[in-house]
Structure 1
Amino acid sequence: MRKLIYGISVSLDGYINDRDGNIDWTDPDEELHQFHNDRYRDIDIALHGRRLYELMADFWPHVPEDEGPIMREFGELWTSKSKYVFSRTLTEVEWNSTLISENAVDVVRKLKSEGDGVMEVGGANLAASLIPHDLIDEYQLFVAPIILGGGTPMFPSLDKRIPLRLVETRNFNTVLMQRYVVGDQ
C-alpha cells in the first residue's frame, strides 16, 4: 500500500499562510531547498488542491535561468512528477497532471491501495479533507520561527484524537523539521 505524507511549512502558531494568504515567510535557503528537492525525488505521486496547483504551475515550469541550479532542478522535478489535482472549478491541468473532480477521499483511498511507494498531499484544504478519514500516514512539518496570529491552519478541527510518534527532527538554518508517523507505538 502506498504511504501518504502531508509535508508543509508551518508557522510556530500552526498556520500555512498569513491572513492575506501570503507565504513569503516560507522561502527556503539553499540547504533547505536541496533537502526538499531530495525528498521530492522520492515521491511517486503528488496530490494538489486547486490553489496549490495554480501557485506551483505559475512558477515551477518557467524557472528563470538566474534562479540557480537548485531551483531549476526543483522545477524539472515538479513538472515531471505525476500529479493529481483536485478541483471542481478547473477545466484543464498541465505538467503531467490529472484533473480530479470526484470525492478526494475515495480517489486517495483507491490510489493508496493500487501500489507501493510514496504520495504527498500538498495544501491544507486538501489535507483537511483526508485527515479525518485516517488517510495520512506521516506528517512532515517545517516549522518556521514566526508567529502569524492568523491565516489558514495546518490542521482542521477534528472529532477525535490522532496519536502520532515523533521519528525524526532536523535543524535547518531557517526551520525545524519534525517528522511524525501515525500511531502511538
Structure 2
Amino acid sequence: MRKLVYTCFMSLDGVVDSPGGGPGEEHRSAGWLVQDIEFLPEAMALKGEELAETTALMFGRNSYESFAAVWPDSEDHEAYKELPKYVVSTTLPEDALVDKWGPQTILRSTEDVAALRETDGGAIFIHGSAELARRLSEAGLIDQYNLLVAPVLLGAGAGLFDRADRDKYQLTLRESESYSNGILKLIYDVKH
C-alpha cells in the first residue's frame, strides 16, 4: 500500500492559500510566506527531505493548473519534473495536461485515489490542493501531514481543515521542531 502525505505551508489560523504568491494565487494576502517570514534554510529543510521520499505527486485541478504553469520550467522544482503526477478532477480534459512534465494521470474520483493508494510503490505527496486534502481526509485516505506552520494570522483563505460535523480521528506526532523565524515543523501520522 502506498502512503498519501499532505504537505503544506500553513498560517497559524489554518490557511494554506497562496503562500508563495505566484501565478494563479489571487488570495488577498498572496505571498504571505515569502514576503512576511524571514527565510531560514533549516526551516525549509523538510522540503528536501520530502523529495527523497516522493515517488509521485498528486494535485487537485486548481493546484495542478497553478503548479503546471511554473514548475515544469523551474530550476527549483527540477527534481519533480519526471515524477509521475496524478490530478484528481472530474472536469479536467486529457488535452489540458501539460507537456514536458513527466507522466500524468487524471483520477476522476476519491475511489480512484483509494485504488491507487492500494497499489505497490512509495509515498505520494499532495502539494497545495486544500479542497482535495479535505475530501481525502474525510474518506480516511491521508496517512501523514507534513506542516510548516508560520506565525501569521491571515483571517481568510482556503483552510486545510473544515468545520463540518464528522467523526474525530487521532494523530500521532512523529516529529516537531521550531525555528528562530517562528516557523514550526509538525509531522503527524494519522491513526487509521
TM range (shorter): 0.7 to 0.9
Runs of at least 5 residues in structure 2 that lack an aligned partner in the other structure: 19-24
Q: How many residues align?
A: 174
Q: Tell me by how many angstroms 1:39 deviates.
A: 1.2
Contact 1:138 1:179 in 2 (8 A): yes
Distance 1:78 1:60 in 2: 8
Tell me whether 1:128 sits opposite 2:134 in the alignment.
yes
Q: What SS class does the counterpart of residue 148 from structure 1 fall into?
A: coil
Please tell me whether residue 169 in structure 1 is matched to residue 176 in structure 2: yes
1:56 Cα offset (Å)? 1.3
Q: Per-residue displacement from partner, 1:86-140 (whole Å, max 9, x unpaired)?
A: 223432212124242511x111111111113111122101111111111011111
**What is the alpha-carbon root mean square deviation over aligned residues?**
2.3
User: Normalized against structure 2, the TM-score is what?
Assistant: 0.80
Q: Which runs of 5+ in 1 are unaligned?
A: 64-71
In structure 2, which of residues 76, 96, 102 is the aligned counterpart of residue 96 of structure 1?
102
SS of 1:45's equivalent? Answer: strand
Could you say which structure has the higher helix fraction? 1
Q: Distance in 2 between the 1:107 and 1:161 partners?
A: 24
1:81 pairs, out of 56, 79, 83, with 83
Residues 60 and 75, structure 1, Cα contact 8 Å, conserved in 2: yes
Tell whether the 8 Å contact from 1:87 to 1:99 is kept in structure 2 after alignment: no
Question: Which among 156, 159, 180 is matched to residue 153 of structure 1?
Answer: 159
In 2, Cα distance between the equivalents of 1:139 and 1:79? 23
Q: Please say which of residues 132-141 and 29-38 is displaced more in the overlay.
A: 29-38
Partners in 1 of 2:30 and 2:125 — Cα distance?
19
Corresponding residue for residue 112 of structure 2: 107
Q: Tell me whether 1:7 sits opposite 2:7 in the alignment.
A: yes
Compute the displacement of 1:23 (Å): 3.8
Mean alpha-carbon deviation: is it higher for 82-91 or for 115-124? 82-91
Compute the displacement of 1:149 (Å).
0.8
In the other structure, the counterpart of 2:22 is none
Paired residues of 1:2 and 1:112 also in contact (CA < 8 A): yes
1:166 is paired with a residue whose SS is: strand
Question: CA contact under 8 A between 1:142 and 1:176: conserved in structure 2?
Answer: yes
* 1:45 equivalent in alignment to 2:56: yes
Corresponding letter in the other structure for 2:184: L
